Structure 1
Amino acid sequence: MKFPPNTVQSRFESPLGRITLAATDDALVGVFFDQQAHMPEVNHWPVADEHPILLQAQAELTEYFAGQRRTFEVPLDLSSGTPFQQAVWQALLAIPCAATTSYGAISAKIGKPAAVRAVGGAVGRNPVSIIVPCHRLVGANGSLTGYAGGLPRKTALLQLEGAAPSLFSESVSTPSLF
């Protein structure tokens, strides 16, 4: 992924661990849990704790974790990915809160029904966790599958949203949101 040169960052503690937010002048470009898979190198991005986009994103995520927000309004810039990745990330934005869908359904939605594995790769590199809801994807049989932030976080996010309880395996240790 290639992020704009004017990217800035801030960090905050969420109920599921520390999150790094990244933005340009006009839009949010990143939401990353510490130590998640495929996290870009962020140390060269200046810290801008008072940046309006970063403050808006943090406020909206705080409301989400408190169960007070189901949709996000912060402007997004998903141009860091390839055209294929961007198509996948746009398709993820259409999955409603508390709903789930499969990788195959996303492949079909973007007109590439045979590209299920490639969709999985694009989902794993989603730069805007939670807000671009890759945690709402499940396997073809309805099982929970990988999540760059870890399966316990995926489970916690789906539980917070009120997704179908049948998705949750007792073998996955879920961090508490409270």
Structure 2
Amino acid sequence: MLSRSLLPTPLGQLVLVHDEDGVLWASEFHDDPAAIEASLARFAPGTMVEADVPLPAHLEDAFRGYFGGAFDSFDELMTGRFGTPFERAVWAALRTIPAGETRSYAAIAALLGDIGKARAVGAANARNPLAIVVPCHRVIGSDGGLAGYAHGLARKEWLLRHEGWRPAQDPML
């Protein structure tokens, strides 16, 4: 069984879905319950979710650390194993982008060995069930624009600026 907990953040409530061992399965903003349901249906079909469970301390500490400026607070966080092999490769690549920097979809595709898969990288990015932990907000368009973010471009820009991103100094641009 999975549990659902709410965590207030500067960007609104986050819904965190975790198991009894504190492994994180999903993190989505509360204003997008359909994304949570879609993630769970895809990655944990038929799983019962107990609502409004106290958040395990280590998960709360990790998220509070991130919002407090400790951008490495998710490094040791255990997450559920889900996604296709390609999606997992994309998500692992996203976790290598340093806070305050961005990469294009094409750059991630090239890193994975096939620049022609930039659209597939974008699709995998869109299916990321772990908002902020797997930093899909650090992926931008090849033109440097803040392209696509399931949680809204204002949140994407806020997260990037929180991490110290300055467009004129970005090595991607």
TM-score after normalising by structure 2 = 0.82
Q: Are positions 1:12 and 2:15 aligned together?
A: no
Deviation track 1:23-71 (CA, whole Å, cap 9, x = no partner) reads 123521111012349613169511363453xx3222211121122x111
Change (3 A) 1:38 1:80: farther
Q: Which residue of 2 aligns with 1:171?
A: none
- Corresponding residue pairs, total: 158
What is the TM-score with the length of structure 1 in the denominator? 0.80
Residue 22 (1) aligns with residue 23 (2): no
Runs of 4+ in structure 1 off by over 6 angstroms are none
Q: Deviations over 1:98-145 (max 9, x none)?
A: 111110111111223211111101101111111111101111111111
Letter in 1 for 2:10: P
Write the letter of the residue equivalent to 1:46.
Answer: E
Q: How does 1:79-118 map to 2 (within 5 A)?
A: 79-118=81-120
State which of 74, 77, 86 in structure 2 corresponds to 1:74.
77
**Counterpart-to-counterpart distance in 1, 2:15 and 2:25:** 11
Deviates more, 1:105-114 or 1:31-40: 31-40
Indicate how the Cα distance of structure 1 residues 154 and 131 shifts in structure 2: closer, same or farther if over 3 A, else same: same
Answer yes or no: is the 8 Å Cα contact 1:36–1:148 preserved in 2.
Answer: no
Query: Contact 1:38/1:148 (CA < 8 Å) preserved in 2?
Result: no
Uncovered stretches (5+) of structure 1, i.e. residues with no partner: 1-5, 168-178
Instruction: Report the CA distance shift for 1:37/1:45 in structure 2 as closer, same or farther (over 3 A).
Output: closer
Residue 50 of structure 2 is matched in structure 1 by 46
Q: Considering fraction of residues, name the structure with more helix.
A: 2
| RMSD over aligned Cα atoms | 2.2
Distance between the aligned counterparts of 1:70 and 1:28, measured in 2? 17
Stretches of structure 2 that go unaligned for 5 or more consecutive residues are 41-46
Amino acid of the residue matched to residue 155 of structure 2?
A: R
